[in-house]
């Protein structure tokens, strides 16, 4: 589900205190039973995401329920902590209150905070089946968030109306987040950076995840594998939100021992597909294994940005030698990983982990790089002069010019007579040149060829 969720859809976030019916509303809007609903306030759940179709508009819906438990002191503090990162990416916030309970101090507090976030808010008074709660609903005006929309998520009353109201408040359809630029195929979603942590079993992925989550700590669901596709966790750094994808894959630890190794690769594939940047985590005390290379090759094949994380650095004796040996092995086994950013740390003690997210951001930038056609062809002419294209079947290839078709990952098209016959060695020469000249370390580079006549 999350795999094909489009990143440029408008984001609608459901917020409110525990037990007002956020998950029930989420289920109603998404139309499938995805979130787990429970009577116990604050039952620990993962944040749910789903796609909903509202009056013909597709939206990405985020349910913040269940994160309440994961943080500070007061109820308001917990509500805020759980919603902050989601609200930061929201195009619209559905703020839910319980129409039967009326406005509570926590609601009022949260509303005051929400008003300051400068996000469109739709106030929803839930549990209003049979219009029982008119007086309480009126009270909701005091929140300063406009007129409340009374409905019953559980009984399905007022849902169609709500859908219309949401649709009316959203910016026009997908594509609105297209980056400006001269190339119309360029698409750079403004949503959170999507990050996956992959690696072999016991490399320390879960420990790293917990370390990154810090205060928010790892949220465990009631049943492994139950809603694994829709689970996501948001982190925040100074540049904005980062979405950790497939944390369920991490959590759902090898139940079946015999296929442990296989599972880690297949779980990695799923995570990779959802991610933009991949942190390939190694147990540095063990060096590089064939399976690590296998995962790295998948990252390359899927065209993702990659950061190499050397974990358990606290347990490494000769750090210089270890770092060199690992870098050497990776670069020699995987030409496309040349210059890959490497971060060494201890997820266990936390030492060095603060370097990880800045490195991830940098890798993301590289992966998003654009080279202008002018720069590209100035370099290209020089490259042709330095090394003339080889003869193929006794005839010289006539390579004419190059253009960058897209980024994410950087993809170039080479035009020329019989360009499609480009020998591998010359292709490597050009790719290495592109990598060095335009500072594209550690990112997959695609070079396509187009024959012209
Ligand atoms: P959340 O913690 O905000 O996600 O709340 P849940 O969706 O888990 O709902 C909390 C409780 O309120 C559950 O027992 C639901 O069955 C109940 N509930 C949800 N919506 C309604 C509603 O429209 N009317 C009534 N009476 N109960 C509701
Ligand atoms: P996963 O299978 O990749 O999720 O690995 P875990 O996070 O479960 O970690 C596997 C084992 O390695 C656990 O016993 C951790 O305590 C240990 N571990 C994780 N990170 C570090 C670290 O930085 N240093 C050391 N010495 N041990 C670590």
**Residue closest to 208 by CA, chosen among 310, 71, 289:** 310
Query: What is residue 270's predicted lDDT score, i.e. its pLDDT?
Result: 67
Q: Residue 39 contacts by C-beta under 8 Å, 6 or more apart in sequence?
A: none
Annotated binding site for GTP: 16-23, 63-67, 126-129, 199-206, 246-250, 311-314
> Distance between CA atoms of 87 and 93, rounded to whole angstroms?
7
> Is ligand 1 within 6 A of the CB of residue 29?
no
Q: List the chain residues with pLDDT less than 50.
A: 1-5, 33-46, 67-71, 173-187, 215-231, 251-261, 263
> Distance between CA atoms of 374 and 137, rounded to whole angstroms?
62
Distance (angstroms) between ligand 1 centre and the Cα of 151 equals: 12
- When the pLDDT of each residue in the chain is averaged and rounded to a whole number, the result is 78
Q: Specify the ligand 1 atom closest to the Cα of 18.
A: 2
Q: Residue 52 contacts by C-beta under 8 Å, 6 or more apart in sequence?
A: 12, 29, 30, 31, 58, 59, 61
pTM for this predicted structure: 0.57
Set out the domains of the chain in order of their start, with CATH numbers: 11-169 (3.40.50.300), 193-221+230-368 (3.40.50.300), 373-451 (3.30.300.20)
Please report, for the chain, how many H helices and E strands are present, in that order.
Answer: 13, 17
The complex's ipTM works out to: 0.54
> Is ligand 1 within 6 A of the CB of residue 19?
yes
Q: Residue 277 contacts by C-beta under 8 Å, 6 or more apart in sequence?
A: 193, 194, 195, 196, 304, 305, 306, 307, 360, 363, 364, 367
Neighbours of 97 (CB within 10 A): 32
- Give me the sign of the Cα torsion angle 317, 321, 325, 328: positive
Distance (angstroms) between ligand 1 centre and the Cα of 127 equals: 7
Distance (angstroms) between ligand 1 centre and the Cα of 246 equals: 27
CB of 267 closer than 8 Å to CB of 238: no
């Amino acid at each position: 589900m999350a795999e094909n969720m489009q990143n440029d859809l408008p984001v609608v976030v459901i917020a409110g205190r525990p037990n007002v019916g956020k998950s029930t509303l989420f289920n109603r809007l998404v139309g499938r039973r995805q979130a787990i609903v429970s009577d116990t306030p604050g039952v620990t759940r993962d944040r749910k995401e789903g796609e909903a179709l509202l009056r013909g508009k597709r939206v990405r819906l985020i349910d913040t329920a269940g994160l309440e438990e994961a943080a500070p002191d007061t109820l308001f503090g917990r509500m805020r902590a759980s919603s902050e990162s989601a609200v930061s990416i929201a195009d619209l916030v559905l703020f839910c209150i319980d129409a039967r309970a009326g406005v509570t101090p926590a609601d009022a507090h949260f509303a005051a905070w929400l008003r300051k976030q400068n996000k469109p808010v739709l106030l929803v008074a839930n549990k209003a089946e049979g219009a029982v709660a008119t007086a309480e609903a009126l009270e909701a005006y005091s929140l300063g968030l406009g007129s409340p929309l009374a409905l019953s998520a559980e009984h399905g009353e007022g849902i169609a109306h709500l859908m219309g109201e949401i649709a009316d408040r959203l910016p026009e359809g997908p594509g609105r987040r297209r980056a400006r630029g001269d190339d119309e195929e360029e698409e750079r979603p403004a949503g959170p950076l999507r990050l996956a942590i992959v690696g072999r079993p016991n490399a320390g992925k879960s420990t790293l995840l917990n370390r990154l989550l810090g205060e928010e700590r790892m949220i465990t669901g009631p049943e492994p594998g139950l809603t694994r596709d829709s689970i996501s966790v948001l982190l925040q750094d100074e540049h904005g939100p980062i979405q950790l994808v497939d944390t369920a894959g991490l959590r759902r630890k090898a139940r079946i021992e015999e296929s442990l190794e296989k599972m880690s690769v297949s779980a990695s594939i799923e995570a990779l597909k959802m991610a933009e940047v991949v942190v390939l985590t190694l147990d540095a005390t063990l060096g590089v294994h064939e399976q690590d290379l296998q995962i790295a090759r998948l990252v390359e094949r899927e065209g993702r940005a990659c950061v190499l994380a050397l974990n358990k650095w606290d347990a490494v004796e000769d750090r210089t030698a270890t770092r060199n040996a690992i870098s050497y092995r990776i670069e020699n086994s995987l030409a496309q990983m040349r210059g890959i950013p490497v971060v060494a740390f201890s997820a266990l003690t936390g030492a060095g982990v603060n370097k990880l997210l800045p490195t991830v951001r940098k890798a993301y930038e590289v992966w998003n790089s654009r080279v202008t056609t002018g720069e590209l062809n100035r370099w290209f002419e020089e490259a042709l002069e330095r090394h003339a294209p080889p003869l193929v079947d006794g005839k010289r290839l006539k390579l004419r010019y190059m253009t960058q078709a897209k980024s994410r990952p950087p993809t170039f098209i080479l035009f020329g007579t019989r360009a499609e016959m480009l020998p591998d060695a010359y292709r490597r020469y050009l790719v290495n040149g592109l990598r060095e000249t335009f500072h594209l370390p550690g990112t997959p580079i695609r070079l396509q060829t187009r024959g012209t006549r």
